[in-house]
């Protein structure tokens, strides 16, 4: 990755942290709390989706920069990075599930499992940050 890519990664990392801060600020302690507060649910879902999309976009770019071929899906981008030894296999599987969650959020908003959203909002930021750390190690 080039120096310009380092700047882009820094910019995207700052954006990710802003979205994750909004998720943390609005996330109730339990899934039931999320279900009871539609405004909090909307904010958590929106900012979690934005954070996921940032990471997915970076994964797609990394595949291109590393000449790993064109991923067939968002999940495939993480799998290609894992197969190339750029990501820990366990992290790859968690990011594949995160890509699936992104698709559920975008394509089926009115049928979301808020318990799944709560879990992703509670546990997922660690994986998104781990992905960014792995990218930083590549530049």
* pLDDT-based confidence at residue 44 (cuts at 50, 70, 90): very high
- Rounded to whole angstroms, the Cα distance separating 124 from 8 reads 22
Half-sphere exposure of 55 (CA within 13 A, CB side): 35
Residue 75 has what pLDDT?
97
- Rounded to whole angstroms, the Cα distance separating 48 from 67 reads 29
Under DSSP, is residue 88 helix (H, G, I), strand (E, B) or coil? coil
Sign of the C-alpha dihedral, residues 64, 66, 67, 71?
A: negative
Residue 6 has what pLDDT?
85
Both structure tokens of 2? 């080039």
C-beta separation of 50 from 19 below 8 A: yes
Residue 138 has what pLDDT?
84
What domains lie within the chain, and their CATH numbers?
3-138 (1.20.120.580)
Answer whether residue 121 shows pLDDT above 70.
yes
Answer whether residue 92 shows pLDDT above 60.
yes
For residue 25, CA distances in Å to 17, 43, 56, 88, 105 come to: 12, 9, 23, 29, 20
Answer whether residue 110 shows pLDDT above 80.
no
């Amino acid at each position: 990755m080039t120096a310009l890519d380092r700047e882009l990664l820094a910019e995207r990392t700052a954006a990710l942290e802003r979205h994750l801060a909004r998720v943390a600020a609005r996330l109730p302690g339990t899934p039931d709390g999320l279900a009871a507060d539609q405004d909090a649910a909307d904010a958590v879902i929106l900012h979690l989706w934005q954070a996921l999309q940032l990471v997915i976009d970076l994964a797609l770019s990394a595949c291109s920069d590393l000449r790993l071929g064109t991923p067939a899906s968002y999940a495939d981008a993480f799998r290609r990075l894992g197969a190339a030894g750029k990501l820990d296999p366990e992290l790859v599987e968690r990011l594949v599930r995160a890509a699936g969650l992104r698709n559920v959020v975008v394509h089926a908003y009115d049928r979301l499992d808020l318990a799944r959203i709560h879990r992703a909002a509670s546990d997922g930021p660690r994986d998104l940050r781990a992905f960014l750390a792995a990218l930083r190690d590549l530049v």
